[in-house]
Amino acid sequence: MTEHEPGYKTRTARQSAGPSETGDVNLGLLGGYIGYHLRLAQNASFRAFQSKSGRADLRPGWFAVLNLIGDNPGITPIALSRAAGRDKSTLTPILRDLTEYDYVVSKPRPGDRRSYGLSLTELGRERLGELAAHAKAHDRVLDEIAGKQKEDFIRILKRIAEELA
């Protein structure tokens, strides 16, 4: 898309004209849509968290998974995927990495040879601790923003996730 006619070569210009300026973009109907703001907020939150935990073995995507395994020893990948809100196929490489790093171990499930149960290793508990420190600091900022409406705020988020499932 670099095919614009030579056109004019006015040099006066001053970026005076309009709506292309940074701040004064007209959002129109968009400004009233919950979905739009939801995406911007989630995006900002994710980036902020990601930028803090820079290590290769402390990826933000691992936090929820480690947390859930820690709180539910013996959990299966499928239960994990539902709780973490991720597709089961998304979990496969994550669990492979977590196992390679020795943060997680899987044991066969008596009574069902298709599946296996997951639990944290001691090392995994350590890493979870580090991630939790990041997460806590991160969520403290969000808590401040939400203020005393935090409970209401989370309640609405929960209902959105439930009712649109």
Partner DNA sequence: AGGCAATTGTTTGCCTCCAAACTATCTTAT
Partner DNA sequence: ATAAGATAGTTTGGAGGCAAACAATTGCCT
Chain residues in the site for DNA (CB under 7 A): 1-2, 11, 13, 15, 17, 43, 47, 51, 59-61, 76-79, 85-92, 94-96, 111-116
49 near a copy of itself, rule: CB under 8 A: yes
Q: Terminal CA-to-CA distance of the chain, rounded, Å?
A: 40
The 54-93 site mask, x for binding a copy of itself (CB under 8 A), equals: ----------x--xx-xxxxxxx--x--xx-x--------
87, interface contact from DNA, a copy of itself, none, CB < 5-8 Å by kind: DNA
123, interface contact from DNA, a copy of itself, none, CB < 5-8 Å by kind: none
